[in-house]
Chain A
């Protein structure tokens, strides 16, 4: 399951699994987010290409509006997916070292 919501400081918190079943809900939320958009992915356990597509569409929209997305606290194993897809070259992705090895 996925939980996506604002933190008190207007960061977007992304928690759980961003897969094909959750992509539409995530897209609906992110379509309402104004720039600049900082996404705290510290609780993101998993992302697939459907989730990458959500972030790519959101980034394109926000770049056109003046500033793209920035991901922070990404786990190393989630970061692998950004790296393999080349998405880490399109927007800022800051990694938090995994505590689980």
Chain B
């Protein structure tokens, strides 16, 4: 499944609809779907927020690879930024020192099975894999 997305958070609704269609032929339990949805959103939002020097669309692709889902997001005409190595988040920190920044990419790093970043000719591509359990819902 491939989707071309405008650089807007309003595109999240279309992304969810496209992801629903992708999983419609091979449904999975919500607990397995959640990390995929969350990782797509966090990576997409990161591109929209921080790659502001371009107006190119963002490409989203989902594929089944065996019992895993492979997702890639490609951004064009951007500076390099590797989202696969976010700063460690202290999840035991007290309330006074907790803030929302940095939670998104940290969650991605914890919830996917593998994540890879490529940068070439001003094109940025991040690909993650999440294995779906064999007991499909």
Contacts and interface: CB of A to CB of B under 8 A. Distances in A.
Interface residues of A, number: 31
A34 interface: no
Nearest to A91: B95
Interface stretch (A5-13, A35-43, A70-78): A70-78
Interface in B32-71: 33-35, 37-38, 41-42, 45
B110 A84 contact: yes
Contact of B12 (A20, A57, A75, A86): A20
A87 B21 CA distance: 31
Interface string B96-109: 00111001101100
A63 B100 CA distance: 17
- Main secondary structure on A side of the interface with B: helix
A81 B110 CA distance: 10
B31 A48 contact: no
Given A63-B95, A84-B107, A84-B110, A49 B31 contact: no
5 contacts: A48-B41, A53-B103, A77-B31, A81-B107, A101-B29
Interface of A: 1, 17, 19-21, 45-46, 48-50, 52-53, 56-57, 59-60, 63, 75-78, 80-81, 84-86, 89-90, 98, 100-101
